Amino acid sequence: MFSHVVIFWTDPTNPAAADELLAGCHKYLKNIPGVLHYHAGKMVGSPRPVVDQSYQVALNLVFPDKATQDVYQAHPEHVTFVETVFKKYCKKVVVYDFE
């Protein structure tokens, strides 16, 4: 298994940015071949100080292996997401990939 976790900080000047980003994730990323598990959602607040609450949206994708994730990165739907959604609504992103 290969997990691809993406943490997004959206444009603070656009109150609809998180919702638009989530809609774009669902539209463009969910059904790309090779995705075994798709989960995207908004940050949930927590009273625990160890929980990062600075971001707005997270995406968790699971693939059978890294090679499949590499193909996903070049898929036209992923490229369209980056160009038309991510660049429009996000100011920062951090990615965590692990096996």
pLDDT on residue 99: 96
pLDDT on residue 91: 97
Query: What is the H or E stretch that residue 63 is in?
Result: strand 57-63
pLDDT on residue 30: 95
Each residue's pLDDT tens digit, 66-79: 999 999 999 999 99
**pTM recorded for the entire structure:** 0.93
Q: Which of 61, 65, 49 is nearest to 25 (CA)?
A: 61
> Hey, what domains does the chain have and what are their CATH numbers?
2-44+55-98 (3.30.70.100)
pLDDT on residue 78: 98
Q: Give pLDDT < 50 ranges for the chain.
A: none
Strands of 2-10's sheet in order across: 37-42, 57-63, 2-10, 90-98
